[in-house]
Amino acid sequence: MRAGRAGCVAGGCAASAAGGCAGRVAGGRAGLVKRWLGNTLRGLCMGAADVIPGVSGGTVALILGIYPRLIDAVGGLGTGVLRRVRSRSFRRLLAVGARDPGRLPGDRAGEDAGRVLFLAYLAAGILPAIALGARILPPLLSLYPAQMRGLFLGLVLASVTVPLRAMRRGGLSQWLLGLGAALVTVWFVGLPPPTSERATGRVFLEFAEPTATEVLLTPQNLTLSAPGNGERPELAFTPAGSTTAPVGSAGIEVAVIAGMTGDAGNVPAGSIREVEGPVAGLRVSQPEALGGGRNPALAYLLLGGVLAISAMALPGISGSFVLLLLGLYHYVLYTLSLAIYHQDGSAILTAGAMAAAMAAGLLTFARVLKRLFARWHDPTLAVLVGLMLGSLRKLWPFTRYTEEGREVAALPALGDPEVVTVALLFAAGMAVVLLLGAAGRRRSHEDSKAGSGRPPSRQRQP
């Protein structure tokens, strides 16, 4: 009887141990999947931020608690890693690390494998987010320019708090550096944007009935578009300057200019078919093809890519905003949309060349950034603050156009209904960044408390 009981107990213990072991294995695998999936979701958040001017992917990485590891992973890549990736033994090491990062060895090859896996899972989230943003943002920027600028203004202004909080001490030299950077940026963003690379032409607007009063047509209140087709996305156009239709006009001819640089704006006659303006019942016809649009020089595009990816690595600096300052933002989004959703060969080559330049720039700038922060931490942050504050001039949502067609900042008209929506989006943009910043500081505080309260572990975290 006792033997039977002992057998039952032993069998139950064995079954319990086996079940517990199986449960730990299953739980361990679930934990690994959860951690790798978490890195992909973090990449998704970073990619969504990188597409929006004013939100920095570096800021999001800082908030999510992965910024130091991101800079270390990117800075650790080099020719040695590229040589290892081609070897079969390193690929086996990657497979081991993907299953269980705790089994990676502590040598240089194991560290490189951990970096490559970390960046790969981040990229699995970043790239789809950028592809989705390239499809959604261009129509919003074309149809609601003032509202989108208001949103971006709030995002950038609130993001200034990130480098400010990171400064260890404030001194006169730091503030002078920041002031100098701000003044240079204000001058730079105030330069008139080049229009020689944007397509131009003329359209004819027809009113539903003769106008009872004068009608002022400006780039702010008149938007024209060429609907998308199977070969390209929708294209937006605006008046090249202000035009007034006199009393009793049945129609008026208007000079128009493409909303972005590039030869995509050289649309054939009859392409511009949609119009939104200050008068109901407007109709548009395009008797002649538009011309004069030229793609940016490849060297300038590659330089923009290097500067943008370098800015993305900095908390508080938006790479998309750098592209906006350089006049490349709309063109890059359009090219990405053309390459991804329309499989245009030329766009694919352009996007590939820019991606290669951005990869080279990121690998180089990550090392420079580590040295700058190591030697001149506060001066570097002071310059970043100045750059961000000076760039706010570019995002002022209310503008007017001179007779020469130049866009200049202006105060909103009394009773303008756009003021309310712009103000709400401005407040929403500030709230998003401030709330994310508060969440990031809370997480950093909790991580520091947890780290000080437990012994170090040898297991690698994915």
- Is residue 350 in some structural domain? yes
- Show the beta-strand stretches assigned E in 139-234: 200-206, 215-217, 223-226
Whether residues 245 and 369 fall in one domain: no
Whether residues 182 and 223 fall in one domain: no
- Is residue 154 in some structural domain? yes
User: What pTM was estimated for this model as a whole?
Assistant: 0.69
- Is residue 100 in some structural domain? no
Identify which of 274, 373, 260, 264 has the alpha carbon closest to the alpha carbon of residue 315. Answer: 373
Convert the pLDDT of each residue in 267-306 to its tens digit. Answer: 999 999 999 888 888 999 999 999 989 998 889 999 988 8
Identify which of 383, 445, 428 has the alpha carbon closest to the alpha carbon of residue 164. Answer: 383
Convert the pLDDT of each residue in 220-277 to its tens digit. Answer: 788 899 998 878 888 889 888 778 899 999 999 999 988 888 888 999 999 999 998 8
Whether residues 355 and 382 fall in one domain: yes
Confidence of residue 204 (pLDDT cuts 50, 70, 90): very high
Whether residues 178 and 322 fall in one domain: yes
Question: Which is it for the CA torsion 126, 66, 372, 85, positive or negative?
Answer: negative
Q: Residue 458's pLDDT is what?
A: 41
As for how many domains the chain has, the answer is 2
Residue 371, Cβ density class (10 Å: 0-12 exposed, 13-18 middle, ≥19 buried): exposed
Final residue belonging to a domain, choices 261, 285, 309: 285
- Is residue 169 in some structural domain? yes
Enclosing H/E stretch for 129? helix 108-143
Identify which of 334, 352, 337 has the alpha carbon closest to the alpha carbon of residue 199. Answer: 334
Whether residues 380 and 253 fall in one domain: no
- Is residue 22 in some structural domain? no
Residue 110 has pLDDT above 60, yes or no: yes
- Is residue 25 in some structural domain? no
Convert the pLDDT of each residue in 307-340 to its tens digit. Answer: 888 877 766 667 887 887 788 888 898 898 888 8
User: 164-173, 200-209, 223-232, 352-361 — which is least confidently predicted?
Assistant: 164-173
Q: Residue 27's pLDDT is what?
A: 46
Whether residues 186 and 205 fall in one domain: no
- Is residue 406 in some structural domain? yes
Whether residues 320 and 419 fall in one domain: yes
Whether residues 316 and 253 fall in one domain: no
Whether residues 204 and 176 fall in one domain: no
The Cα–Cα gap between 46 and 204 comes to 44
Final residue belonging to a domain, choices 254, 285, 316: 285
Identify which of 191, 198, 241 has the alpha carbon closest to the alpha carbon of residue 216. Answer: 241
Whether residues 309 and 182 fall in one domain: yes
Which residue range forms the structural domain that includes residue 318? 135-193+296-423
Whether residues 156 and 274 fall in one domain: no
Place of tokens 């572990």: 457
Convert the pLDDT of each residue in 128-174 to its tens digit. Answer: 988 888 788 777 876 787 888 898 888 878 878 877 887 887 778 88
* Mean pLDDT on 357-364: 84
Share of the chain above pLDDT 70, in %: 82
- Is residue 41 in some structural domain? no
Whether residues 253 and 281 fall in one domain: yes
Question: For the stretch 118-129, what's the b/e string if a residue is b when 16 or more beta carbons lie within 10 angstroms of its beta carbon?
Answer: bbebbebbbeeb
